Chains A and B, each alone.
Chain A
């Protein structure tokens, strides 16, 4: 690690101590990352990155100033404090500014730090990539991808005694295999790099690349669709990005109802659907620390189709007489005791989607999203994958997706192809999914 907890804590305590009587929040994050990119069966770029950020927030009643630097000498630290202080002086009173929190209790989460990941070397990354590339060459394919390992430390301290420190590691592997006229992708994320199975991920991408060659044309329209877990993760993350209470209460969201009310408690989607977040999840452990140092506890967002919680900032929660609910640090969606193969078997006619791409909001009032399929789309007929078909643009709402779920697989941890965020989520079989046009991309 770049800095030990003792060193970080002492530095932060020193800043607070040097400014007695000031309401301050200070934080330090440090990160070391190594990443290797490859394309056309060769390594293209390979780098090691070392970053640091010291954050200083000075609060004067309802006024606040923020400064940050990444140099830890006394002069620079004093400069940051002085800048934040001066900004707090000139800032007008912000009636919504919440006072700093005192000490908090955070939920215990599974290990987020693995020394093997922190110490993973450029040579080890190259070893994994070489085996993928050799296999790609044997199969007359080209491999492109990215392998990254990082270690981070994050600490926060304020003048009211709130303190937290967290060490974590992350490894991420993604690869795209191209065959003549076909493309396949697979990715995975893990805190422990030994859980990244590059060979398995390249085999999966290779199979998709082979199977997706020479796609037949399929017209746009509404189809029964099976979204593989990575595609489902993107749709559900976009739903959660928009699960904010304030926008709902202000009439600016698909969760808005008349007269400042929202859909909290409403049966919004299929009763099959339960979605929650939980930093203590053994499959997807996550940060237990949120806005202003608030603890991130297990939160159920949708239970049996009903909206159970929305994201409440501290200010909005107080205004509405509720407790704050921070933004989720992961997503866990319950599934059914089925396999992806069973979902396919149960489908008379439908489309299997491997990955979604370039998703954007089109209309927040119905959470209409647009985006594209990518890296393998297949026609299913009479319970079997029949042949590859062209890519599509979709114009669809994740609310409709979750209303129209007919069947789900068992959940597994994946990373969304568009959002890059992880989730423990099943594959979803969804009726009436709207493909609005064809994309010629391969």
Chain B
């Protein structure tokens, strides 16, 4: 691997690159899908290749190929240089990378059981048993399930002397029950997050118990009343809050968006650089950490795709916006001397973009249980799991539904309600945060398929929190008839 990498870097330098790096990756994916006690898909796929970035005359060029051969590596390195030359005709500011030490290292996801070594029969059996348990519940019409295991071997080398090997493993279980009746249909999913773990994640869950409860809740949801519009206090569980954080804080504090680099597609952000250090993003309870170190979280790695060592940093501290997510290229635009390590490419064939690290909400400092939080809430809704989600291209106006929603009346969890969502404006919403449960309620969740960039790339990141309360948020009803 090192020999191929050196060949690429030497070729790029020889052709005129002032900087070059190469990522050689192998990606294996196992996907098993079942429905109604039948296995519809058993797939085991693999893909390998390399991508070379080069800077020439201050401009980036990138080329990639699936042919892992010496001649092809030389051709692609030369092509990356040629592409950079074409880009340099339209240069506004030359690319400058903030310094980062060179590393020779190996890092791997701290897994206990390699999912690819677990017999397929065992995985199939689990899916069938969960399907069966869900379908035993009266009112469940459809039960679907998938198990997805993904292993990535990544080798990064740069002309600055880094040679970094990383082995990552992801496990993503998903089980859903669909209840149908009386002209309606509602779904409920087992709430277990995808993580950067091995098969131990699957073995740590009592799936059959969860399957039964989930299916029963799907039926309850079907029979529940329609939610009504109005202002309510919200208690958002970590399984739900992960996506609200992701969309309204994670994407909003990406520096490439703030600089206009995503203007044509994903959009820009209301969090413009002049607001760094001053913007009141939310209440003083809002402390958001960007983190590539969090064990088991989806964006955790030893190094990012710029070869920057993983780190942890504040994005929002005591409610004030204090830090963007950056890469080696972006850091200087906010006068920072080092990168926050947020470069990521979803494949060997993709150009690394600034992507979200794990982003999480710090738990409350004072002891606060979920029961206490509920007891202290008179007129609210409790959201568990994620539902419909949508946010504008500058991250002001959002609307989120949930996987399951319950009323809270006079300090007690009451009936389930269906077809509700909340709408708010980012800073109003986070400004209304008035309680966060303490550390023992903190859970790490995540987003497995976050889209960004042109051509589009998909990324994964963890989002942890404890249950949190937001005061008087606007609820909308999504019910009705055609």
Which A residues are within 8 Å of any B CB, using their own CB? 33, 35-53, 64-71, 80, 83-84, 86-88, 90-92, 94-96, 121-123, 125-126, 129-130, 133, 142, 144-146, 148, 174-176, 178, 185, 250-254, 256, 258, 357-368, 370-372, 374, 391, 393, 395, 397, 399, 436-442
User: Bound state CA distance, A273 and B14, in angstroms?
Assistant: 61
Additional pairs, 10, CB under 8 Å, beyond known A92-B39, A359-B390: A41-B92, A43-B89, A48-B63, A49-B64, A49-B455, A69-B47, A70-B48, A87-B44, A148-B455, A440-B425
User: Bound state CA distance, A71 and B27, in angstroms?
Assistant: 12
Distance of B353 from chain A, by nearest CB (Å)? 8
Please tell me if the beta carbons of A94 and B38 are within 8 angstroms of each other in the complex.
Answer: yes
Distance of B24 from chain A, by nearest CB (Å)? 13
Which residues, 391 to 423 on B, are CB-close (under 8 Å) to A?
A: 391-397, 399, 401, 419, 421, 423
Query: What are the residues of chain B within 8 A of A371 when measuring CB–CB?
Result: 390
29 A-B pairs in the complex with CB atoms less than 8 angstroms apart = A33-B455, A43-B59, A48-B62, A50-B349, A51-B349, A52-B66, A64-B42, A66-B42, A68-B45, A68-B46, A70-B46, A70-B47, A70-B49, A123-B86, A126-B90, A129-B90, A174-B265, A251-B183, A252-B180, A253-B185, A258-B183, A358-B391, A362-B421, A366-B482, A374-B393, A436-B399, A440-B397, A440-B425, A441-B393
User: Bound state CA distance, A87 and B33, in angstroms?
Assistant: 13
Distance of A205 from chain B, by nearest CB (Å)? 10
Please tell me if the beta carbons of B38 and A254 are within 8 angstroms of each other in the complex.
Answer: no
Residue among B41, B259, B260, B392 having the largest count of chain A Cβ atoms under 10 Å: B392
Query: What are the residues of chain A within 8 A of B393 when measuring CB–CB?
Result: 357-358, 372, 374, 441
Please tell me if the beta carbons of A51 and B66 are within 8 angstroms of each other in the complex.
Answer: yes
User: Bound state CA distance, A35 and B395, in angstroms?
Assistant: 27
Which of A44, A71, A86 interacts with B68 by CB under 8 Å? A71
Query: What are the residues of chain B within 8 A of A397 when measuring CB–CB?
Result: 482
Please tell me if the beta carbons of B185 and A251 are within 8 angstroms of each other in the complex.
Answer: yes
Q: Known contacts A64-B42, A250-B180; is A142 also within 8 Å of B388 by CB? A: no
Please tell me if the beta carbons of B42 and A360 are within 8 angstroms of each other in the complex.
Answer: no
Query: What are the residues of chain A within 8 A of B349 when measuring CB–CB?
Result: 49-51
User: Bound state CA distance, A390 and B41, in angstroms?
Assistant: 47
Distance of A325 from chain B, by nearest CB (Å)? 20
User: Bound state CA distance, A94 and B275, in angstroms?
Assistant: 57
Chain B at the A interface: mostly helix, strand, loop or mixed? mixed
Please tell me if the beta carbons of B45 and A67 are within 8 angstroms of each other in the complex.
Answer: yes
Nearest B residue to A125, CB-CB? B86
Distance of B56 from chain A, by nearest CB (Å)? 11
Decide if B479 is an interface residue (CB 8 Å cutoff): yes
User: Bound state CA distance, A278 and B119, in angstroms?
Assistant: 45
Which of B38, B124, B260, B419 interacts with A90 by CB under 8 Å? B124
Please tell me if the beta carbons of B90 and A42 are within 8 angstroms of each other in the complex.
Answer: yes
Please tell me if the beta carbons of B124 and A442 are within 8 angstroms of each other in the complex.
Answer: no
Please tell me if the beta carbons of B90 and A130 are within 8 angstroms of each other in the complex.
Answer: yes
Which of A35, A254, A358 interacts with B392 by CB under 8 Å? A358
Please tell me if the beta carbons of B62 and A47 are within 8 angstroms of each other in the complex.
Answer: yes
User: Bound state CA distance, A133 and B91, in angstroms?
Assistant: 11
Nearest A residue to B65, CB-CB? A50
Query: What are the residues of chain A within 8 A of B38 when measuring CB–CB?
Result: 92, 94-96
Q: Known contacts A359-B390, A360-B390, A370-B399; is A47 also within 8 Å of B351 by CB? A: yes
User: Bound state CA distance, A206 and B184, in angstroms?
Assistant: 46
Query: What are the residues of chain B within 8 A of A129 when measuring CB–CB?
Result: 90
Please tell me if the beta carbons of A250 and B141 are within 8 angstroms of each other in the complex.
Answer: yes
Instruction: Tell me the count of chain B residues lying within 8 A, CB to CB, of chain A.
Output: 85
Please tell me if the beta carbons of A92 and B124 are within 8 angstroms of each other in the complex.
Answer: yes
Q: Known contacts A70-B46, A372-B390; is A393 also within 8 Å of B64 by CB? A: no
Please tell me if the beta carbons of B141 and A251 are within 8 angstroms of each other in the complex.
Answer: yes
Query: What are the residues of chain A within 8 A of B141 when measuring CB–CB?
Result: 250-252
Which of B77-85, B150-158, B233-241 contacts its partner? B77-85
Nearest A residue to B419, CB-CB? A363
Which B residues are within 8 Å of any A CB, using their own CB? 38-49, 59-68, 76, 79-80, 82-84, 86-87, 89-93, 119-121, 124, 128, 141-142, 178, 180-181, 183-185, 259-265, 267, 270, 349-351, 388-397, 399, 401, 419, 421, 423, 425, 454-455, 474, 476, 478-482
User: Bound state CA distance, A36 and B83, in angstroms?
Assistant: 9
Query: What are the residues of chain A within 8 A of B68 when measuring CB–CB?
Result: 71
Q: Known contacts A36-B87, A46-B87, A92-B39; is A393 also within 8 Å of B390 by CB? A: yes
Which of A67, A123, A251 interacts with B44 by CB under 8 Å? A67
Query: What are the residues of chain A within 8 A of B396 when measuring CB–CB?
Result: 439-441
Please tell me if the beta carbons of A142 and B260 are within 8 angstroms of each other in the complex.
Answer: yes
Q: Known contacts A68-B45, A70-B49; is A441 also within 8 Å of B62 by CB? A: no
Please tell me if the beta carbons of B185 and A40 are within 8 angstroms of each other in the complex.
Answer: no
Query: What are the residues of chain A within 8 A of B39 when measuring CB–CB?
Result: 91-92, 94
Which of B60, B142, B401, B482 interacts with A45 by CB under 8 Å? B60
Please tell me if the beta carbons of B43 and A67 are within 8 angstroms of each other in the complex.
Answer: yes
Please tell me if the beta carbons of A39 and B45 are within 8 angstroms of each other in the complex.
Answer: no
User: Bound state CA distance, A258 and B397, in angstroms?
Assistant: 37
User: Bound state CA distance, A39 and B264, in angstroms?
Assistant: 8
Query: What are the residues of chain A within 8 A of B178 when measuring CB–CB?
Result: 252
Distance of A97 from chain B, by nearest CB (Å)? 8
User: Bound state CA distance, A144 and B48, in angstroms?
Assistant: 32
Please tell me if the beta carbons of A372 and B388 are within 8 angstroms of each other in the complex.
Answer: no
User: Bound state CA distance, A368 and B39, in angstroms?
Assistant: 31
Please tell me if the beta carbons of B392 and A395 are within 8 angstroms of each other in the complex.
Answer: no
Please tell me if the beta carbons of B479 and A363 are within 8 angstroms of each other in the complex.
Answer: yes
Query: What are the residues of chain B within 8 A of A185 when measuring CB–CB?
Result: 264
Residue among B261, B423, B480, B482 having the largest count of chain A Cβ atoms under 10 Å: B482
Distance of B149 from chain A, by nearest CB (Å)? 14
Distance of B190 from chain A, by nearest CB (Å)? 19
Query: What are the residues of chain A within 8 A of B83 when measuring CB–CB?
Result: 46-48, 122
Nearest B residue to A442, CB-CB? B394
Distance of B102 from chain A, by nearest CB (Å)? 24
Please tell me if the beta carbons of A133 and B180 are within 8 angstroms of each other in the complex.
Answer: no
Query: What are the residues of chain B within 8 A of A178 when measuring CB–CB?
Result: 260, 263
Please tell me if the beta carbons of A176 and B264 are within 8 angstroms of each other in the complex.
Answer: yes
Please tell me if the beta carbons of B264 and A45 are within 8 angstroms of each other in the complex.
Answer: no
Nearest A residue to B75, CB-CB? A50
Nearest B residue to A355, CB-CB? B393
Which of A66, A130, A250, A441 interacts with B394 by CB under 8 Å? A441
Nearest A residue to B95, CB-CB? A44
Nearest B residue to A124, CB-CB? B86
